[in-house]
Amino acid sequence: MREGKKHPFAINVWRWGLLILLLVLWEIGARLKWIDPFFFSSPLEIARTAVIKWQGGTLWRDIAYTGASTLLGFVLGTVIGSIVGLLFWFSRPVAQVAEPWLIVLNALPKLALAPVLVIWFGIGFLSKVILAFLMTVVVAAMSAYSGVRTADSALETLMISLGARRMQIFTRLIVPSAMPSIITGLRVNIALAMAGSIVGEFIASDRGLGRMIVYAGTTFDLKLVWVGVTVLSILSVLMYASVVLLEKVLMRHWRGTVTE
């Protein structure tokens, strides 16, 4: 038991230790000219540039812009897609007709639509949200429908024999049965939503971390490029960790609902 408790702690120590070692070697390499500081900069220079941009007010506004478009697209795509997938339970013929189209839509390179969406909806916030939405809605629908099909048919038959109405079966059996699949899909969807927002900003945008990276690259401000990449990585990790935490809370809440 003690070894089991120490194991996660040791893993975390190694993880953070390797990260710190990498940053130290990076800083030393830049100072001693082992690597070209113009192309690779250094952790301290990146941090210094980030502080300057934060104090100037541009960095936090770009973070807020990218974060908001990602979260809004993620929430809308997940909610609407999950509802659509759950509603397929009410009509098997509709589900059978729609399923191959969902597979086709999921296989489409939706990121390739970014230029079209920018032309349709402009370079502002809306086009980024729509692209993040398109990246997530089909995955959410497929996850929900996959969960619907895992519902216990014997338990459904028992509920029907006991006089349960269709809506009661849906809310008390189908939805709880689908929740694990829906919740598991959240991890995939948050990454897809982030990718959609960033690619939209790469194509054309007036704000956002993606716009910052593109602008810095065109002006050969590689310190700012590294700031954008670093902040974007941190934001992605924070969002993913938040979704993992949400997943644990939701799974704890829904566990045992079907049997009850």
Residue 259: which pLDDT band, with cuts at 50, 70 and 90?
very low
Looking at the structure, tell me whether residues 96 and 193 fall in a common domain: yes
Q: Compute the mean pLDDT over every residue in the chain, rounded to the nearest whole number.
A: 86
Looking at the structure, tell me whether residues 198 and 248 fall in a common domain: yes
Looking at the structure, tell me whether residues 143 and 168 fall in a common domain: yes
| pLDDT tens-digit readout, 143-160 | 999 888 888 888 888 888
Determine what percent of the chain is predicted with pLDDT higher than 70: 95
In this predicted structure, the answer to whether residue 7 has a pLDDT above a threshold of 80 is no
In this predicted structure, the answer to whether residue 258 has a pLDDT above a threshold of 50 is no
In this predicted structure, the answer to whether residue 112 has a pLDDT above a threshold of 90 is no
pLDDT of residue 70: 94
Looking at the structure, tell me whether residues 2 and 65 fall in a common domain: no
Question: Can you tell me the mean pLDDT for 228-256?
Answer: 84
- What is the span of the domain harbouring residue 64? 41-254
Residue 259 within a domain: no
Residue 233 within a domain: yes
Looking at the structure, tell me whether residues 4 and 98 fall in a common domain: no
Looking at the structure, tell me whether residues 46 and 31 fall in a common domain: no
Residue 61: which pLDDT band, with cuts at 50, 70 and 90?
very high
Looking at the structure, tell me whether residues 27 and 97 fall in a common domain: no
* Contacts within 8 Å (CB) and 24+ apart, 239-246: 239/67, 239/70, 239/71, 239/190, 239/194, 240/187, 240/190, 240/191, 243/186, 243/187, 243/190, 244/187, 246/186
Residue 83 within a domain: yes
Looking at the structure, tell me whether residues 30 and 46 fall in a common domain: no
Looking at the structure, tell me whether residues 46 and 146 fall in a common domain: yes
pLDDT of residue 10: 80
pLDDT of residue 255: 60
Residue 148 within a domain: yes
Looking at the structure, tell me whether residues 76 and 53 fall in a common domain: yes
pTM: 0.83
Residue 204 within a domain: yes
Integer Cα distance of 142 and 118 in angstroms: 27
3-state SS of the chain: helix, strand, coil percent to 5?
85, 0, 15
pLDDT of residue 232: 92
Say how many domains are in the chain: 2
Residue 84: which pLDDT band, with cuts at 50, 70 and 90?
very high
pLDDT of residue 235: 92
Instruction: Count Cα atoms within 13 angstroms, Cβ side, for 80.
Output: 14
Looking at the structure, tell me whether residues 74 and 150 fall in a common domain: yes
In this predicted structure, the answer to whether residue 82 has a pLDDT above a threshold of 90 is yes
Q: Provide the residue type at 130 as one letter.
A: I
Looking at the structure, tell me whether residues 23 and 129 fall in a common domain: no
What CATH number did the domain enclosing 181 receive? 1.10.3720.10
Which of 155, 182, 184 is closest to 260 using CA atoms? Answer: 155
